């Protein structure tokens, strides 16, 4: 079936089992965890490792299934009467942001994504803008995840705090660059790869990277193939 945005509103741990779904939304994220329990800290002294086992947003890709998620995004929508324009009225100089959901598959809180017992399930994400996004931490524990996106394939958004962790699974990312830019994986904090197979191709026309993390990249295991026009320092 084809559905509009799936919103999970209760501030509780939520498990979403993908069992052969086809979800499409052309005006917003196709899947959004809006208000669920947050297990992590937003402190800027956060470490490069984080335990997301108690995260409120949990996605399971059921074994033997193919799941297709096609989504768009919501650009900046401001609080009423909060916008102050620049001197010539050409840009927003100050405002209170109300909404901005960049990813086709999106969580405002930390999120876990995993496969079933044998990890044979497939999740295909096609995104107008960014693909798989969280506002804090993201941990991938398994499954076969294929992302085709107009901007960043994966993005975790909290500056100097977010941790993107890949423990297992097969992850294929292609940034097509319709927005003119895009990293394969972009963490505004840390990127830690402990296992799995990761292939990430950035936008070929911009100065972006296959894997990019503001606070640092650490590869402890797995196989990583990344292409782009910028390369960050990697600790192995």
Number of Cα atoms under 13 Å in the Cβ half of residue 90: 2
* Nearest to 163, CA basis, from 67, 71, 60, 43: 43
Q: What band does 1 get if pLDDT is binned at 50, 70 and 90?
A: very low
The first and second tokens of residue 33, run together, are: 């965890």
For 183-204, what is each residue's pLDDT tens digit? 999 999 999 999 999 999 999 9
Mean per-residue pLDDT of the chain:
88
Q: How far is CA 208 from CA 20, 137, 202, 204, 231, in A?
A: 33, 21, 6, 8, 8
Diameter over CA atoms, the chain? 59
Quick check: 57 pLDDT over 50?
A: yes
CA distances from 195 to 82, 94, 104, 218 (A): 45, 42, 25, 11
Give tens-digit pLDDT for 83-133: 566 667 665 555 555 567 899 999 999 999 999 999 999 999 999 999 999
- Phi first, then psi: give them for residue 167, nearest 5 degrees: -100, -30
Partners of residue 225 on adjacent β-strands = 199
CA-nearest of 151, 114, 100, 155 to 132 is 155
């Amino acid at each position: 079936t084809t559905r509009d945005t799936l919103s999970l509103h209760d501030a509780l741990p939520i498990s979403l089992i993908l069992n052969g779904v086809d979800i499409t939304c052309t005006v917003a994220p196709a899947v959004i965890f809006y208000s669920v329990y947050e297990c992590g800290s937003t402190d800027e002294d956060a470490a490069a490792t984080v335990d997301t086992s108690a995260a409120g947003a949990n996605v399971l890709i059921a074994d033997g299934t193919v799941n297709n998620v096609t989504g768009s995004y919501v650009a900046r929508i401001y609080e009423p009467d909060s916008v102050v324009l620049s001197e010539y009225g050409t840009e927003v100089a100050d405002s209170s942001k109300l909404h901005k959901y960049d990813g086709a598959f999106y969580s405002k809180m930390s999120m876990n994504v995993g496969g079933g017992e044998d990890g044979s399930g497939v999740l295909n994400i096609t995104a107008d803008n960014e693909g798989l996004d969280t506002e804090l931490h993201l941990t991938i524990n398994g499954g076969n995840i294929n992302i085709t996106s107009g901007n960043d394939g994966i993005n975790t958004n909290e500056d100097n705090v977010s941790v993107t962790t890949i423990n297992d699974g097969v992850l294929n990312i292609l940034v097509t660059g319709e927005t003119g830019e895009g990293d394969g994986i972009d963490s505004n904090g840390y990127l830690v790869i402990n296992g799995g197979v990761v292939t990430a191709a950035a936008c070929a026309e911009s100065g972006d990277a296959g894997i990019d993390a503001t606070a640092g990249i650490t590869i402890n295991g797995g196989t990583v193939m990344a292409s782009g026009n910028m390369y960050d320092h990697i600790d192995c």
